[in-house]
Structures are given as structure tokens and as C-alpha cells.
């Protein structure tokens, strides 16, 4: 909520500083979703967009980029709904988050093994 309403964290310098790391997310939401006025839906969308932004940030880390290039690492954008316990996975082909159980059920080639250490 503080990311979308900066005035809420004006007197909380640590929180304000922490939220500066999500400035990209705030801009994405404010510039692309002006039509979304329902505060609850806007908050959910902000969380989902932030997960995607953080995945992109992770890809820029040298060790992560190298592991992705080798094929030894796959990143997945998941959102957990505390209220229900549901987990949603971002599907880039559909451009939306889908319930994780749908993704697992549809992916018969899902690799459930860990690489050797």
C-alpha cells in the first residue's frame, strides 16, 4: 500500500527507503494501469508486476545469467495468496498468472529432480 500511496510511509524512513527499490514497479503500474481504480485490484496487480520486475532484476546478476545460459536454472514468477493459500505462476504465453496446480497438471514434462551437487 505504501508503494501506491507514498504519503502513508512519509514518517517511516526505513520503509520509504525500502520501497524505493520498487520504483520500477510503481511506474509500470501508474503509467500502464490508470484505468484500474479499485484499490484492492490495483494492489494485487502491483504485487504481480513487482514479482515480474524482480525476476528481470535477478536475470541481470552474473551468476544467475550464467546458470540460465547453461540451462541449469529456470526462474518462475510465483505469487502466493495468504488469504487462500493458493499459488499462482506467471504464464508468459498467456500474459497472466495461472493457478499453480493448473500449470503442474498441464506440464507432463515437469522436471522435479534436483541437479547433482
Measuring CA to CA, which residue among 36, 29, 80, 85 is closest to residue 53? 29
Cα separation, 87 vs 78, in Å, equals 7
pTM for the predicted model, two decimal places: 0.77
Domain ranges in the chain? 1-73, 76-117
Q: Which pLDDT score is estimated for 13?
A: 83
Q: Which pLDDT score is estimated for 111?
A: 54
Confirm if 81 and 61 have CB atoms less than 8 A apart.
Answer: no
- Point out the residues of the chain with pLDDT beneath 70: 1, 103-117
Q: Which pLDDT score is estimated for 19?
A: 81
Q: Which pLDDT score is estimated for 106?
A: 58
Q: Which pLDDT score is estimated for 46?
A: 92
Amino acid at each position: 500500500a505504501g508503494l501506491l500511496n507514498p504519503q502513508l510511509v512519509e514518517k517511516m524512513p526505513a520503509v520509504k527507503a525500502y520501497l524505493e527499490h520498487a520504483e520500477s514497479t510503481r511506474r509500470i503500474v501508474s503509467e500502464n494501469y490508470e484505468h484500474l481504480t479499485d484499490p484492492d485490484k490495483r494492489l494485487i496487480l502491483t504485487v504481480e508486476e513487482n514479482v515480474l520486475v524482480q525476476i528481470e532484476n535477478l536475470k541481470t546478476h552474473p551468476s544467475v545469467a550464467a546458470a540460465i545460459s547453461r540451462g541449469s536454472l529456470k526462474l518462475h514468477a510465483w505469487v502466493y495468496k495468504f488469504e487462500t493459500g493458493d499459488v499462482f505462476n506467471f504464464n508468459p504465453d498467456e500474459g497472466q498468472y495461472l493457478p499453480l496446480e493448473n500449470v503442474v497438471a498441464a506440464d507432463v514434462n515437469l522436471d522435479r529432480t534436483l541437479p547433482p551437487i
